[in-house]
Amino acid sequence: MELPKYVNDVSAVVAHALAEDVGGGDFTARLVPAGEQGRAYVISRENAVVCGRPWVDEVFRQLDTAIEVKWLVQEGQQVAPDQRLYELKGPARALLTGERPALNFLQTLSGTATAVRQYVDAVAGTGARIADTRKTLPGLRNAQKYAVLCGGGINHRIGLYDGILIKENHIAAAGGIRQAIANARALQAGVPLMTEAETLEEARAALEADVDLLLVDDFSLPDLREAVRLVREHRARGGKTVIEYSGGATLQNVRGYAECGVDRIAIGSITKHIRALDLSMRFA
Task: Please give the positions annotated as active site.
Answer: 100, 135, 167, 196, 217
User: What are the beta bridge partners of residue 215?
Assistant: 196, 244
In the chain, the amino acid numbered 265 is I
First to last CA, the chain: 28
What kind and span of H or E run contains 101? Answer: helix 92-122
Taking the C-alpha atoms of residue 163 and residue 213, their distance in angstroms, rounded to an integer, is: 10
* Counts for the chain of helices (H) and strands (E), in that order: 10, 12
Strands, E assignment, 114-248: 129-131, 164-166, 193-197, 213-217, 242-246
What residues have CB less than 8 Å from 103, skipping those under 6 apart?
42, 279, 281
Distances (CA, A) of 89 to 27, 31, 95, 104, 187: 21, 18, 8, 20, 54
Smallest CA-to-CA distance from 107 within 51, 25, 170, 35 is with: 51
What residues have CB less than 8 Å from 254, skipping those under 6 apart?
119, 122, 123, 265, 267
Q: What is the dihedral of CA 114, 120, 123, 129, to 10 degrees?
A: 140
